[in-house]
Structure 1
Amino acid sequence: MHPPRTVLVIGGGAAGNALTLLLRRAGIAVDLIEAKADWNATAGSGITLQGNALRVLRTLGVWERVADSGYAFDSAGITTPDGTVLHVQHDLRTGGDDLPATVGMQRPHLQQILIDAVRGSGASIRLGTRAVSLDQDADGVSVRFTDGSANRYDLVVAADGVGSATRAAVGITDRPEPTGMAIWRVAAPRPAGVTRTDLAYGGPAYIAGYCPTSDSTLYAYVVEGRRDRATIPPESYADEMRALARHYGGNWPEITAEITDPAQVNYAWFDRMLVEGSWHRGRVVLAGDAAHCCPPTLAQGAAMSLEDAAVLAELLTGGRPWDDDLFQAYYERRVPRVRAVVEASVQIGQWQLDGVRDADLPGLMTRTMTMLKELP
């Protein structure tokens, strides 16, 4: 009989937390390390979770808390910049008919729900800790940490995000590349009329949208062309976002009036990346944003990370040897689905950058969402 398995999970975001929960449920010993001392518990404004993400969260045992914390809806509106509704699209329930099509929620609330679950799982957790070195052989990985300690593991999972230091440390040279767009985001009180996501195309920005995140909150976002971040001082963030948002009507004037605190406004570029060939080197395996990232034009970033964790955990707990064949099977199972999402997400933005007016946006979105209804 194989001795008890040990896994190091590097990164306490969606993929790392989900994988930790699933492996602990199977009785596997897990150490989770997170570079940030606060475990990212307050980072971010809002997040849109579609049904395929909700399906994994239900598997993790946290769906009820997510449902209580978030705001569920089943449609998205397309508006003109002045707020006139042109079309309301009823969304596919990609997680199945017993789950909403979409739940919007405050990102820190989702993170706290996952943190609480991981803490209750029996995993060993170390915050403010990084891996300094990973020395592999055929049977495992010896890891040294920033606090001077060291340990040995059967497997290391790099779930340390789009800027993954682990990815680079094992010789995978892929890095995120900017797509040419950037996004302003802010959390704000929810006007009573906001009961779904609405997207306005045109005006001074490519997209102006919002998503309800609870009975009293939403997050709003404005997408523009990428600018040099060094030329935008953080103290001007609220002014910059408000200057774009003030051109939009409907619910926007009420939202725009709340964009006052630059510390609550986030500015980020849209990036793309998909590691090809394999997502592992020896016994170090990538998951989530460390393996792939895409613009949020389909709101599938967190969903893809959660699905990575579900598929990897299924394979690791299925009784197969933990070897190259298993790790390659993980990649081959995930990459067609992830590639479709990355390419569609990038294409939506590229059509806007190129000013294409007759793009088959509804067709592309419908095809992608229909694919996502299938189990990963």
Structure 2
Amino acid sequence: MSTPRTVLVIGGGAAGNAAAILLRRAGIAVDLIEAKDDWNATAGSGITLQGNALRVLRELGVWNRVEKSGYGFDAVGITAPDGTVLHVAEDLRTGGDDLPATVGMRRPRLQRILGDAVRESGADVHLGVRATSLDQYGDGVAVRFSDGTESRYDLVVAADGLGSTTRAAIGIADAPEPTGMAIWRIEVPRPAGVTRTDLAYGGPAYIAGYCPTGESTLYAYVVEAHRDRSSIPAGSYADEMRALAQHYGGHWPEITAHITDPSRVNYTWFDRMLVEGSWHRGRVVLVGDAAHCCPPTLAQGAAMSLEDAWVLARMLSATDTWDDALLQGYYERRVSRVRPVVEASVQIGRWQLDGVRDADVPGLMGRTMNMLRELP
């Protein structure tokens, strides 16, 4: 082959793990570094995976493990704050008719499945290691690491998330911007009657929702206007979330009774970012949250990241010529799909913040999700 195929993946989250697995399958040598010493120390309680995310997980060869570990369902309920069910809609199967519309699962469990698949792929994994410098030279990158070693690669895939230091190191100034909302999350035991996501609009929170993540677990969340996190003592997280959740009926009283341990509650602002123009500089290319992020109003964050990795790996494995045109083509292919997801996710939240009562939320969601049925 005219081009040696060696890739460094920076970041061991969903996008980085997916890229490593797919590039190894194509016969490309992959090193993956992750700044955390504990690869499975994943923040967050649960994750909602739409069908187009499941489609990529099937390509990765982990769908059977995901299916057994999560909870699949095909509907979403809209309720009043008191728990009265107002409407139940069938979710669109964006991954195809042979996959569920949605799978909820514990986020650490998904991380473990993907991490195991990376190791099984033969990628060389280094935990507790950062890239301290990236020096580009023609058709490659010389990388120095925090453990004192250095190596050269034909390509560096930056999958180091929302606060990507790699993005800044290669001169891309874009950074996440808050949208004005924040979310409280917790994992609790699943009430027996919960078999789908239900969303309550109104009451003291913008949204109160939950998603089953297994036979005995559930991921619950409430969305409010964002506050200065430094003004909220970590020891009061359970009290803060419970104060909002206690105003909701239906299954919420049973859920709320388990919101007692502040260490199990996660508080996060909603952010928005979309890097414009290109997602690469030389032989360093961004994937996933390092390139784009959006509020979880459409539950598409993980799906967009996984799709990035799938598209990039397919493009890299289809040719020996890894050049600017190829990486620019990756950006153009992805941005046309990511942009409407980011914009729709932000718009839905903006309508809520502005109190717009006649907004066409179902129409916007339907148009966006229908687009996602197509292959990326």
User: Do the structures match in fold with TM over 0.5?
Assistant: yes
CA distance in structure 1 between the partners assigned to 2:44 and 2:356 by the alignment: 31
CA distance in structure 2 between the partners assigned to 1:359 and 1:165 by the alignment: 38
CA distance in structure 2 between the partners assigned to 1:218 and 1:95 by the alignment: 23
Give 5+ residue unaligned stretches, structure 1. Answer: none
Give the equivalent residue in structure 2 for 1:346: 346
Contact 2:93–2:100 at 8 Å: present in 1 too? yes
CA distance in structure 2 between the partners assigned to 1:146 and 1:319 by the alignment: 32
Contact 1:56–1:310 at 8 Å: present in 2 too? yes
2:266 matched to 1:266?
A: yes
2:300 matched to 1:291?
A: no
Aligned residue runs from structure 1 range 8-23, under 5 A: 8-23=8-23
SS in 1 for 2:243: helix
Give the equivalent residue in structure 1 for 2:319: 319
Give the equivalent residue in structure 2 for 1:201: 201
Give the equivalent residue in structure 2 for 1:277: 277
Give the equivalent residue in structure 2 for 1:226: 226
Contact 1:20–1:123 at 8 Å: present in 2 too? yes
Aligned residue runs from structure 1 range 36-51, under 5 A: 36-51=36-51
Q: RMSD value over aligned CA atoms?
A: 0.7
CA distance in structure 2 between the partners assigned to 1:170 and 1:116 by the alignment: 30
Q: Deviations over 1:147-184 (max 9, x none)?
A: 11000000001000000000000000000000000000
Give the equivalent residue in structure 2 for 1:121: 121
Amino acid at match of 1:2: S
| Residue identity (%) | 80
Q: Deviations over 1:115-148 (max 9, x none)?
A: 1100111111000100000000211000000011
Give 5+ residue unaligned stretches, structure 2. Answer: none
CA distance in structure 2 between the partners assigned to 1:98 and 1:105 by the alignment: 19
CA distance in structure 2 between the partners assigned to 1:263 and 1:38 by the alignment: 18
CA distance in structure 1 between the partners assigned to 2:226 and 2:143 by the alignment: 38
2:127 matched to 1:106?
A: no
Aligned residue runs from structure 1 range 160-239, under 5 A: 160-239=160-239
CA distance in structure 2 between the partners assigned to 1:50 and 1:115 by the alignment: 20
Q: Deviations over 1:238-288 (max 9, x none)?
A: 000000000000000000000011000000000000000000000000000
CA distance in structure 1 between the partners assigned to 2:343 and 2:320 by the alignment: 32
Amino acid at match of 1:221: Y
Q: TM-score, normalised by structure 1?
A: 0.99
**Cα distance, 1:43 vs. partner?**
2.6
SS in 2 for 1:206: strand
Q: 1:140 and 1:204, CA in 2 relative to 1: closer, same or farther beyond 3 A?
A: same
Contact 1:41–1:112 at 8 Å: present in 2 too? no
Contact 1:29–1:123 at 8 Å: present in 2 too? yes
Give the equivalent residue in structure 2 for 1:357: 357
**Cα distance, 1:320 vs. partner?**
4.6
Contact 1:178–1:270 at 8 Å: present in 2 too? yes
CA distance in structure 2 between the partners assigned to 1:325 and 1:39 by the alignment: 34
Give the equivalent residue in structure 1 for 2:333: 333
Moved more, 43-52 or 167-176: 43-52
2:69 matched to 1:69?
A: yes
CA distance in structure 1 between the partners assigned to 2:42 and 2:288 by the alignment: 20
Q: Which runs of 4+ in 1 moved over 3 A?
A: none
Give the equivalent residue in structure 2 for 1:252: 252
Give the equivalent residue in structure 1 for 2:60: 60
CA distance in structure 2 between the partners assigned to 1:73 and 1:115 by the alignment: 25
Contact 2:3–2:320 at 8 Å: present in 1 too? no
